[in-house]
Amino acid sequence: MDFTLSEEQLMIQEAARDFAQNELLPGIIERDDAQEFPAEQVKKMAELGFLGMMVDSKYGGSGLDTLSYVLVMEELSKVDASSSVIVSVNNSLVCWGLETFGTEEQKQKYLTKLATGEIIGAFCLSEPEAGSDATSQKTTAIDKGDHYILNGTKNWITNGNSAEVYLVIAQTNVEKRHKGINALIVEKGMKGFEIGPKENKLGIRGSDTHSLLFNDVKVPKENRIAEDGFGFKFAMKTLAGGRIGIAAQALGIAAGAYELALKYSKERKAFGTEISNHQAIAFKLADMHTKIQAARHLVYKAAWDKDNGNNYDISGAMAKLYAAETAMEVAVEAVQIHGGNGFVKDYHVERLMRDAKITQIYEGTSEIQKIVISRGILKV
């Protein structure tokens, strides 16, 4: 298995790195403070093809592999995890789900606009009483013949207010439990669909996270994704790929924090020399670098599995688990290396530390990843 990047992949990586430094970094502290959605930056990412990276070109996508997507996610996340999570949701959860399981009519109507970034999408699974437990959906979609009547509440929805298309997981037949769940395409503006309050978050404050309320929303039957009862499988298969994107985000946060700490350690002096010359700091940097390299190989392996048609349930979960833990550990150490300056926003590492925490929570907590991994290795 050779992870040497191709010339095209290196160009994509460089383009993402340049965009992050020139377009995302300016104003990042102010956007974080104000919880400002990066609307202009999202438009520019769409122009670069970052919002439909893995979508076939016939639907307006870039037609690239998963590894290229991972490279972009890492570079964006080094600077602005709020922007990268927008890219992640639109690519991994919305576009991939529609392209893989949607009808041709659904792809022409929705995917073509999502892949080009004309609009962005949201994936709606979590509920007040059903976060990681996707089988316990309280949102209902009652079959009325040619349409469903949708009622319920979704929360923690990334792109909650900025999206135009929402993939909503809902229970149609309670007696069938997870086999009675469906996935529906809901459009902003449908009667009875309301956007709830914006969450005031610890990290990724630039992404708009909202609750969504559905009150007798009429959803046409043609907006159901795949056959009746496929919703739970749709959610699980989509989340499996989503973990790779979030693992890449965590990797990027860790790498960004490390790069800042390394640079600072070569500039800051204490006891007559740069602090990088002190063994206590040098050892921290060695540990950080080693963990990042290990995380990177896990993320690349998961992307390689997906690109080569292998099962990536375990490799994706391992990548997400380890990269998220690495992001948190490295970001904390980066703050420590910066000392008092690490507590100051101007040095950026405190924001990366706040952003790192969410990677241990969304797309399933670290404990959920361990369940996926353990079931896979134990063949449960």
Catalytic residues: 363
- Pairing relationship of beta strands 140-143 and 147-158 according to DSSP bridges: antiparallel
**Is the separation of the CB atoms in 289 and 276 below 8 Å?**
no
Considering only the C-alpha atoms of the chain, give the largest distance between any 2 of them, rounded to a whole number of Å: 78
Residues in the chain: 380
- For the chain, the three-class secondary structure string (H helix, E strand, C coil) is CCCCCCHHHHHHHHHHHHHHHHHHCCCHHHHHHHCCCCHHHHHHHHHCCCCCCCCCHHHCCCCCCHHHHHHHHHHHHHHCHHHHHHHHHHHHHHHHHHHHHCCHHHHHHHHHHHHHCCCCEEEECCECCECCCCCCCCCEEEECCCEEEEEEEEEEEECCCCCCEEEEEEECCHHHHHHHEEEEEEECCCCCEEEEEECCCCCCCCCCEEEEEEEEEEEEHHHECCCCCCHHHHHHHHHHHHHHHHHHHHHHHHHHHHHHHHHHHHHCEECCEEHHHCHHHHHHHHHHHHHHHHHHHHHHHHHHHHHCCCCCHHHHHHHHHHHHHHHHHHHHHHHHHHHHHHHCHHHCHHHHHHHHHHCCCCCCCHHHHHHHHHHHHHCC
